[in-house]
Chains A and B, each alone.
Chain A
Amino acid sequence: GENVEQHPSTLSVQEGDSAVIKCTYSDSASNYFPWYKQELGKGPQLIIDIRSNVGEKKDQRIAVTLNKTAKHFSLHITETQPEDSAVYFCAARLYSSASKIIFGSGTRLSIRP
Chain B
Amino acid sequence: DVKVTQSSRYLVKRTGEKVFLECVQDMDHENMFWYRQDPGLGLRLIYFSYDVKMKEKGDIPEGYSVSREKKERFSLILESASTNQTSMYLCASSFSGNGETQYFGPGTRLLVL
Contact = CB atoms under 8 A, between A and B. Distances in A.
Interface of A: 1, 4, 6, 9, 32, 34, 36, 41-46, 49, 89, 93, 98-106
Contacts, number: 53
22 contacts: A32-B100, A34-B100, A34-B101, A42-B107, A43-B90, A43-B92, A43-B104, A44-B90, A46-B101, A46-B102, A89-B42, A89-B43, A99-B48, A100-B45, A100-B58, A101-B100, A101-B102, A102-B45, A103-B35, A103-B42, A103-B43, A106-B42
A39 to B, nearest CB: 10
A100 B99 CA distance: 9
B59 to A, nearest CB: 7
A12 to B, nearest CB: 17
Contact of A41 (B40, B44, B106): B106
Given A1-B59, A41-B106, A99-B96, 17 more contacts: A4-B42, A6-B42, A36-B104, A43-B92, A44-B43, A45-B104, A46-B102, A49-B100, A89-B43, A98-B96, A99-B31, A99-B50, A100-B45, A100-B58, A105-B41, A105-B42, A106-B40
